[in-house]
């Protein structure tokens, strides 16, 4: 499991609607991006239904069975971990001697290994816990995930248990406790972000919300608009949200689960592209992504950035008829505004097409 230890020990700081959002999502200081959850509920904003088409058929029953062990180890999360750890190769062995689908090192396997299946697909337990047996590996992975989820809850760190669980999976629970959240190891920060991001690609359903016919087909831009529209009325949360959905922000967003301007764009584009395009986390970088579009050639689904305070610190999604959908500011909600509003009309603007 990535050797279950982060190897690098350096930090990175990035400083502007979503510059701090980068700290919470991309850099991985996710203790600041917490999402409250009940003991018997899945983490808020995370879908739990597996898209079986994205998983090799022989592993689908085991992933779905593993997901029954605890809410934190949802089927999309288990699948995303396996994809990251081994690329679905049950014979994988890493340079650190991490083995099998879930990449357990021998010492961790000796403690947690589960005899859940025989070596042949669908076979009954054979009395041997083997990291190279897919059923054993997947059930052990979920067992370990659930134990880690319990450990980080006991720490009362105030962060999102799912992100903290993933950090503990990669770096160990001791490191999470030492740093009071996701450790400042680039390997661990990247691991947490990679799993949370790729979970969306393994989900077979979206969080509840308003839908649009364009969501299920049509032009890429129409799908971007449809995915953004689903979140109309969702609170603005500074630094909150990401491709997995709304999340708790920090500073003035610390008590709010929602989106900021750039995380809403990130979510809509990511899902419209079926996980193939993930825009940068902050608005200042989003206005440099994709293809530049002249203002008079803008079409639905294009993103439009606004220079409000000396940089392109706000961004939204054009929906047609001179309107755009965006997450405006603390105390507001995801809503539709007009480009003719004086506050936006006289500001420098950039339009980008991301797909």
Which residues are tagged catalytic? 261, 314, 326
Q: Using only the alpha carbons of the chain, give its radius of gyration.
A: 21
Decide: 197 and 181 in contact? Cβ < 8 Å: no
Report residue 290 CA to chain centroid gap.
21
| Residue 73: closest CA among 172, 147, 155 | 147
DSSP letter (8 states) at residue 319: E
The tokens describing 199, both together, are 């979970």
DSSP 3-state assignment of 312? strand
- 35, 44, 70 from 74: Cα distances, Å: 15, 12, 7
Burial of 290 (0-12, 13-18, 19+ CB in 10 A): middle
Q: Which residues of 243-253 are buried (b: 16+ CB within 10 A; e: fewer)?
A: bbbbbbbbeeb
CA dist., res. 230 & res. 209, Å (int): 5
Cα–Cα distance, 33 to 343 (Å, whole number): 29
Residues, the chain: 355
- The residue with tokens 């969702």 is 234
The pair phi, psi for residue 112, each rounded to 5°, is -110, -10
Beta-sheet strand order (sheet of 291-292): 291-292, 349-353, 303-307, 312-320, 323-326, 335-338
- Write out the two tokens for 349: 């603007």
């Amino acid at each position: 499991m990535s050797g279950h230890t982060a190897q690098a020990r350096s930090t990175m700081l990035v400083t502007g609607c979503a510059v701090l959002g980068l700290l919470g999502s991309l850099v991985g200081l996710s203790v600041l991006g917490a999402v409250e959850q009940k003991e018997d509920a899945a983490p808020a904003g995370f879908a739990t239904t597996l898209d079986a088409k994205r998983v090799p058929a022989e592993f689908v029953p085991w992933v779905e069975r593993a997901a029954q062990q605890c809410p934190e180890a949802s089927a999309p999360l288990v699948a995303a971990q396996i994809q990251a750890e081994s690329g679905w190769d049950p014979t994988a062995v890493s340079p650190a001697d991490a083995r099998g689908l879930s990449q357990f090192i021998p010492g961790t396997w000796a403690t947690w290994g589960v005899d859940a299946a025989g070596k042949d697909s669908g076979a009954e337990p054979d009395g041997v816990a083997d990291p190279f047996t897919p059923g054993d590996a997947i059930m052990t992975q979920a067992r370990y995930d659930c134990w880690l989820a319990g450990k980080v809850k006991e720490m009362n760190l105030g962060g999102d248990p799912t992100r903290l669980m993933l950090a503990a999976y990669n770096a160990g629970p001791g490191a999470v406790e030492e740093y009071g959240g996701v450790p400042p190891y680039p390997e661990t920060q990247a691991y947490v972000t990679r799993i949370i991001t790729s979970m969306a690609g393994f989900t077979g359903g979206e969080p509840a919300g308003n839908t649009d016919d364009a969501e299920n087909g049509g032009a890429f831009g129409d799908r971007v608009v449809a995915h953004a529209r689903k979140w109309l009325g969702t609170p603005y949360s500074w630094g909150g949200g990401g491709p997995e959905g709304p999340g708790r922000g920090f500073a003035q967003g610390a008590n709010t689960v929602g989106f900021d301007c750039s995380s809403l764009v990130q979510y809509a584009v990511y899902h419209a592209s079926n996980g193939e395009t993930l825009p940068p986390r902050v608005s200042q970088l989003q206005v440099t992504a994709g293809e530049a579009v002249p203002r008079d050639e803008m079409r639905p689904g294009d993103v439009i950035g606004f220079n409000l305070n000396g940089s392109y610190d706000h961004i939204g999604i054009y929906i047609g008829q001179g309107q755009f959908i965006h997450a405006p500011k603390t105390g507001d909600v995801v809503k539709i505004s007009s480009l003719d509003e004086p506050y936006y009309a006289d500001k420098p603007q950039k339009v980008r097409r991301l797909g």
